Amino acid sequence: MSRLNEATLAALPPAIVRPAYDRTKTRIGIVHIGAGAFHRAHQAVHIDDLLADDPDWAICGVSLRSADVRDALGPQDGLYTLALLGGNLSLRVIGAIRELLCAREEPQAVLARLADPAVRLVTLTITEKGYCLSGDALDLAHPDIAHDVASPQAPASAIGYVVAGLALRRAADIAPYTVLSCDNLADNGGRLRRAALQYAQAFDPDLARWIETEVAFPRSMVDSITPATDDALRERVAAQLGCADAWPVQREPYTQWVIEDHFCNARPAFERAGATISDDIAGYDHAKLRLLNAPHSALAYLGSLMGIETVADAMRQPALAGFVERLMRADIAPTLDAPRGFDPDAYTDAILARFRNPDIRHLLSQIAWDGSQKLPVRILGTIADALVAGRPIDRLCLPVAAWMRFVRRQARNGVALVDPLADTLSALDRTTAGDASAAVAAFLALDAMFAPMSGDERFVAALRDAYMALGDATPGAVSRALAAAGGTADV
Ligand code: CS2
The CATH number covering residue 341 comes to 1.10.1040.10
Together in a domain, 212 and 307? no
Q: Relative to the CA of 374, which ligand 1 atom is closest?
A: 5
**Residue range 231-242: mean pLDDT, rounded:** 96
Q: Which residues pair with 238 in a beta bridge?
A: none
Query: Residues 33, 158: contact at Cβ < 8 Å?
Result: yes
Which residue has its alpha carbon closest to ligand 1 atom 10?
225
Give the C-alpha separation, 265 to 247, whole Å: 32
* Banded pLDDT at 61 (limits 50, 70, 90): very high
Do the domain assignments include residue 403?
yes
Contacts of 294 (CB under 8 A, 6+ apart): 327, 332, 378, 379, 382, 399
Which residue range is the domain that position 426 belongs to?
A: 282-484
Question: How far, in whole angstroms, is CA 3 from its chain's centroid?
Answer: 30
Together in a domain, 66 and 163? yes
Which residue has its alpha carbon closest to ligand 1 atom 1?
367
% of residues, the chain, pLDDT over 90: 90
Distance 369 CA to ligand 1 centre (A): 11
Together in a domain, 247 and 286? no
Which residue has its alpha carbon closest to ligand 1 atom 3?
367
Mutation to probe ligand 1, out of 291, 364, 366, 367 (largest number of atoms < 8 A from CB)? 367
Do the domain assignments include residue 325?
yes
Which residue has its alpha carbon closest to ligand 1 atom 6?
293
Q: What are phi and psi of 61, to 5 degrees?
A: -90, 120
Together in a domain, 262 and 288? no
Q: Relative to the CA of 226, which ligand 1 atom is closest?
A: 9
Do the domain assignments include residue 1?
no
Count of domains for the chain: 2
Together in a domain, 218 and 302? no
Which residue has its alpha carbon closest to ligand 1 atom 4?
367
CB atoms within 10 A of CB 244: 16
Residue 433 has pLDDT above 60, yes or no: no
Question: How far, in whole angstroms, is CA 445 from its chain's centroid?
Answer: 25
pLDDT in tens, 111-153: 999 999 999 999 999 999 999 998 889 999 999 999 999 999 9
Do the domain assignments include residue 491?
no
Q: Relative to the CA of 184, which ligand 1 atom is closest?
A: 11
Together in a domain, 238 and 339? no
- Quote the mean pLDDT of the chain: 95
Q: Give the CATH number of the domain where residue 199 resides.
A: 3.40.50.720
Distance 225 CA to ligand 1 centre (A): 6
Mutation to probe ligand 1, out of 226, 250, 288, 366 (largest number of atoms < 8 A from CB)? 226
Together in a domain, 406 and 479? yes
Together in a domain, 206 and 314? no
Do the domain assignments include residue 147?
yes
Together in a domain, 131 and 82? yes
Residue 489 has pLDDT above 50, yes or no: no
**Residue that is last in its domain, among 278, 302, 324:** 278
Distance 367 CA to ligand 1 centre (A): 7
Residues lining ligand 1, judged by CB closer than 6 Å? 184, 223-225, 293, 296, 366-367, 374
**Residue that is last in its domain, among 258, 278, 298:** 278
**Residue that is last in its domain, among 278, 304, 335:** 278
* Banded pLDDT at 491 (limits 50, 70, 90): very low
Which residue has its alpha carbon closest to ligand 1 atom 13?
223
Distance 230 CA to ligand 1 centre (A): 17
**Residue range 246-258: mean pLDDT, rounded:** 97
Together in a domain, 239 and 303? no
Per DSSP bridges, beta strands 256-260 and 220-223 are antiparallel
Which residue has its alpha carbon closest to ligand 1 atom 5?
367
